[in-house]
Amino acid sequence: MHARITIFALGVLSLAVISLYPTLQFPSSAQVSTFIGPRVWPLTLLGILFTLGLVLLAITLRDRKQALAAEPPSSQESSENAELPPPRFSLARTRHWWFMAAAVAYTLLMQSVGFLVASLIFTLAGTLLLGARSWVTVVITLVVAAVLMQGVFVSLLGIPMP
């Protein structure tokens, strides 16, 4: 279990580092006529993503060390020899990978259909991945997300939607 979480944390860190170069290609606030430039929000998210990836990696490594120290030597041998059941595919087990794939798709889709449409598609995918089953909940989430994005970026910050 610790190996999977470690791989996921390393994937999150890699995603943040790889996304840094394209993000730095966005214009800064000095290059545009808005108070906050298009680069601020993605850089903020990348900083948060990188920080949380580091925290997840540190917690996973700490928990692994504690689990190895607490496990008696005889059970280590028996756990290595014991057969594990074959892994079954389930959305709950792979949800984090689907979120990462959705984030990459969101970034690529934003360039072709625009920020608002791509954000609504990403919000829909994220809501369904988080387990929302009621279409009323999904529609309310999409409407609130659209109003917040339009209100914050266009009305409050004066940043036109791409």
Domain ranges (residues) in the chain:
1-84, 94-162
Handedness of CA 94, 95, 96, 99 (dihedral sign): positive
The pLDDT assigned to 53 comes to 92
Task: Reduce the DSSP state of residue 104 to 3 states and report it.
Answer: helix
The predicted model scores a pTM of 0.53
**pLDDT tens-place string over residues 117-154:** 999 999 999 999 988 889 999 999 999 999 988 888 77
Tokens standing for 12?
Answer: 């999150």
Tokens standing for 117?
Answer: 């449409």
CA-CA-CA-CA torsion for 137, 139, 141, 147, nearest 10 degrees? -150
In angstroms, rounded to a whole number, what is the distance separating the alpha carbons of residues 48 and 44? 6
Residue bearing tokens 């917690």: 59
